[in-house]
Structure 1
Amino acid sequence: MNGKKPASKSIHLIINEIVERVNADTQRLRILEQNVESLTSRIISVEDEILNFRKEFNKSLKDIDKKISETNNRLSKMENTIKEIVDYAKKLATKTEVAELKNLIDIYNPLKSNFVTKEEVEQMIRSKNNNK
């Protein structure tokens, strides 16, 4: 009997030690599982933020593309309008042409010039012919 009591005490001590180690390992495993869950939650959160950022970024790119397209259209219309204005300006009279027209108008202005009528010319011709 003496041999069994110390052996059963040592078995009991060994079992207690094993149980304590298993409990400690179980606690460590729970802590590790909590850490993994926390990291998983953070990763999911970061992934969601990345997806939201990507959506907003793509939307911004579409808006920028639309604005660029609108600006290109406006620029094209402006270029056409400028071209039309330049073509119209080329058809307008120059300063020298206007000055020439002014001189011609001044020459043919009946208030400033001394014009003769057809009858007066015919009379002048007859009177010259009569004088000869």
Structure 2
Amino acid sequence: MKIRLYNIVVMTENMEKHNRSLLMIMYRNAVCLISCCVFGSQSDDGKTSVRDRFNARQFMSWLQDVDDKFDKLKTCLLMRQQHEAAALNAVQRLEWQLKLQELDLATYKSTSIFEIPEFYIPLVEVNDDFDLTPI
């Protein structure tokens, strides 16, 4: 139960970080657009300004960079959670096997951890995927 709750908290944190990054990109976009409109495309000496370099393609590339970054983080998170779930299951199986051996040495001496039914030691369920923007 504790690991499942921790996984939900980490997923929620990642969704919030993703939304915060998108808001920062939107803010940067708004500032660039306002500066282009207010200051115009010409500087004092008649040359084109650096502000002209901002366009929709650059904005889309910023959004794509944020999406790529958080997709990579999401993939790493899911792989780590699945690894933690498998490791926890293996430790619990070993503890189960040791307890069986303590109770009855003759019967359970050669019991493998894979012979223990999954009913007694369930694997923690980890989502295969989650939406970073659930809206």
Verify same fold: TM over 0.5: no
State the TM-score, normalized to the length of structure 1: 0.39
- Greater per-residue helix proportion: 1
